[in-house]
Amino acid sequence: MSQANIRKAFEKKMIAFSPAISLSFENVSFTPATNVPYAALRLIPADVRNPTIGDNYHREVGIFQIVLCYPIGQGSQALAAKAEELKEYFKRITNLVEGNTIVQIDKTPSIGSAYVENNRYCCPIRISYFSNEF
């Protein structure tokens, strides 16, 4: 259940982001509007960590990735500005809560290199997280 709660916590925070941006969720049909930016959301879990022996404690870790996709041919400034806004919105030491799961953002988010895909100018923002589970 913890991975589901982690995903839901991040998605809720993205839905609350202002100014709003169209969102593409995993495994949900999405057709981007022409000339309208959107953000594709992906949860990328890493191997679970077991920092102790003999109990049920474990640590869920991973990356929540937001890929901003802007119309091609309009320069990089708008995308770069939105990436910086999201980097601040998910700043280090932010805690997200869903059910009994507390998701902690333990590093400053990273803005990756932009690239062109499917007639869109895209840029990933990677947000490192962990959740202690008992």
Among the listed residues 74, 76, 73, 88, the one whose alpha carbon sits nearest the alpha carbon of residue 123:
76
Confidence label for 1 from pLDDT (cuts 50, 70 and 90): low
- What global pTM score does this model have? 0.94
Q: Which tokens sit at 68? A: 């901003």
pLDDT digits (tens, 9 = 90+) for 33-92: 999 999 999 999 999 998 888 788 999 999 999 999 999 999 999 999 999 999 999 999
- CA distances (Å), 71 to each of 23, 29, 38, 121, in order? 15, 20, 9, 6
